[in-house]
């Protein structure tokens, strides 16, 4: 039972199921369109039958034809009166041979002259008196006999085949099967093309999702959807953006895991060395124990910042309205209190009062604190870290400048990556874990802004934080 369940849930089984589903969708679309086309054709015939009315042109043609038949009948009547039956039938036969119209000359219910032997329908029509003010027509099956009034009480009977509505709609009996086959064939081809056109993007998207689930994050579908509808190509663009984002997140997680492993290995290695030295020299173990304590504190700080970064990666911007100027003043005051113990100072040199934005106060405070503490760490003793804040173009912009050694220009963007340190900051004497600025960058992005850095004129590093204001 377990083997059967494993086989049913295997990737190969799932792929076969997906392909079957796509084919089923194609068949449903194909059959639906084909039926729709046939229904449209049938409905068109029904409307044709329901609302059919002779057009004026057709009525004029019919009147003209009946007038011509009446003229030929009148000529046959005169020939009958002057030359006898043979002369009249010769004229009627000539008309029949030329036009295929059989005109029978009748009088008082009797057929006097005919181009062909009269049948029962003609004899019945001959007994119907012609009327000048009304069209007299007798129907029998698919045939109709028309009685035309002539002079001196004579009449002319013409017989024609009545065409059915289907014949008039599709044509004569000899072409009806061909036209029905043509409608079905064309309808099938159109339905096939539409079904393929509509199901192809779904099939391509399904194939792409299967490749992604197999680990291929380089798949893109936008180019494969060329020629599809605007909505489908927009879906393809969204799919590609989603794939790129997933690839970026996975790469970020792999890089973070790699960096975390590296960062944790170094203090653990130093702790093992200090522990070994303490074991070898129990009487002089105090410095080694102090070193173990410092490394433990650094590990605790590192793990705390890693957890904070992980929480920000899955966080969403809050909706609380924050008085960001008050928040900045409090944060500067707190960090300045810490900096004075290190013979340094943090000064708020300029600020725009009364600025508010939507977000999370603790996240914004953490972003600003990380930048301020980083600046205090690198600014020389006896100098001050300068902080300014103002409203610019829909953002609350905070600038923090220190008077330290700065950062090489080619590394200004890299300092916001996790665990990245420039060459002058790699020594552990400078402190720090390399995560603080990453948290800052993520926090500003979470609040619709950015974090950038540049080397200030006269030395030092200036970090600029932008937070989108409350709309």
Residue pLDDT, tens place only, 163-187:
655 555 555 555 556 667 777 777 7
pLDDT band, very low/low/confident/very high, at 427 (cuts 50, 70, 90): very low
Residue boundaries of the structural domains of the chain: 56-162, 217-314, 317-468
At residue 328, does pLDDT exceed 90?
Answer: yes
What residue has token string 């509808």?
Answer: 229
pLDDT tens, 204-220? 777 888 888 787 778 88
pLDDT 10s digits, 132-162: 667 777 777 778 888 888 888 888 888 876 6
- 56-162 CATH: 3.30.450.20
**Which range among 218-222, 328-332, 379-383, 451-455 shows the weakest confidence by mean pLDDT?**
218-222
Q: What is the pLDDT of residue 210?
A: 82
Q: pLDDT at position 268, please?
A: 77
- Mean pLDDT to the nearest integer, 412-438: 66
Quick one: pLDDT at residue 37?
Answer: 73
Task: Please say if the pLDDT value at position 430 is more than 60.
Answer: no
DSSP-based three-state secondary structure for 115: coil
**Residues 6 or more apart in contact with residue 414 via CB below 8 angstroms:** 420
Measured over the CA atoms of residue 48, residue 51, residue 55 and residue 58, the dihedral's sign is positive
The percent of the chain in helix, strand and coil, each rounded to the nearest 5, is: 60, 15, 25
With bands split at pLDDT 50, 70 and 90, how would you rate the model's confidence at 2? Answer: very low
Least confident piece of the model among 60-69, 237-246, 284-293, 307-316: 307-316
Give me the CATH code for the 217-314 domain, please.
Answer: 1.10.287.130
Looking at the domain 317-468, which fold is it? Answer: Heat Shock Protein 90 (3.30.565)
Give how far Cα 386 sits from Cα of 76, 117, 371, 456, 462, Å.
123, 122, 12, 12, 9
pLDDT digits (tens, 9 = 90+) for 122-135: 888 888 877 766 77
Q: Regarding predicted confidence, which is higher, 360 or 53?
A: 360
Taking all residues of the chain, what is their mean pLDDT, rounded to a whole number? 77
The yes-or-no verdict on residue 198 having pLDDT over 60 is yes
More confident residue, 142 or 277: 277
């Amino acid at each position: 039972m377990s083997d059967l369940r494993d086989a049913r849930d295997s990737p190969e089984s799932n792929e076969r199921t997906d392909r079957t589903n796509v084919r089923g969708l194609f068949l449903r679309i194909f059959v639906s369109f084909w039926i729709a086309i046939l229904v449209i054709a049938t409905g068109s015939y029904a409307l044709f039958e329901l609302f059919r009315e002779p057009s004026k042109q057709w009525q004029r043609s019919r009147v003209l034809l009946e007038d011509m038949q009446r003229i030929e009948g009148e000529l046959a009547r005169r020939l009958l009166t002057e030359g006898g039956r043979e002369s009249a039938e010769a004229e009627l036969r000539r008309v029949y041979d030329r036009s295929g119209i059989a005109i029978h000359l009748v009088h008082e219910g009797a057929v006097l002259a005919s181009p062909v032997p009269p049948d029962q329908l003609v004899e019945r029509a001959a007994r119907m008196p012609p009327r000048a003010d009304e069209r007299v027509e007798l129907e029998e099956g698919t045939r109709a006999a028309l009685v035309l009034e002539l002079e001196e009480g004579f009449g002319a009977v013409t017989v024609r085949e009545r065409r059915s509505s289907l014949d008039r709609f599709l044509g004569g009996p000899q072409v009806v099967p061909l036209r029905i086959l043509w409608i079905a064939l064309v309808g099938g081809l159109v339905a096939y093309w539409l079904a393929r056109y509509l199901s192809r993007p779904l099939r391509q998207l399904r194939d792409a999702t299967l490749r992604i689930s197999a680990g291929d994050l380089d798949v893109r579908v936008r180019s494969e959807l060329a020629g599809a509808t605007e909505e489908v190509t927009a879906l393809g663009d969204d799919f590609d953006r989603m794939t790129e984002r997933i690839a970026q997140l996975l790469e970020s997680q792999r890089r973070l895991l790699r960096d975390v492993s590296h960062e944790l290995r170094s203090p653990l290695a130093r702790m093992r060395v200090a522990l070994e030295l303490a074991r070898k020299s129990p009487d002089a173990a105090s410095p080694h124990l102090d070193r173990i304590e410092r490394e433990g504190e650094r590990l605790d700080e590192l793990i705390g910042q890693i957890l904070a970064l992980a929480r920000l990666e899955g966080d969403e911007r809050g909706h609380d309205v924050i008085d960001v100027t008050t928040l900045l003043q409090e944060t500067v005051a707190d960090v300045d209190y810490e900096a004075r113990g290190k013979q340094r100072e943090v000064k708020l040199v300029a600020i725009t009062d009364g600025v508010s934005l939507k977000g999370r106060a603790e996240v914004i405070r953490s972003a600003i604190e990380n930048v301020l503490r980083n600046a205090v760490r690198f600014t020389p003793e006896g100098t001050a870290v300068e902080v300014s804040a103002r409203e610019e173009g829909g953002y609350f912009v905070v600038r923090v400048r220190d008077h330290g050694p700065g950062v090489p220009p080619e590394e200004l963007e890299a300092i916001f990556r996790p665990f990245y340190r420039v060459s002058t900051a790699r020594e552990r004497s400078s402190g720090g874990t390399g995560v603080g600025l990453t948290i800052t960058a993520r926090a500003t992005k979470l609040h619709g802004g950015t974090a950038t850095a540049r080397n200030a004129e006269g030395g030092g590093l200036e970090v600029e934080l932008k937070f989108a204001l409350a709309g």
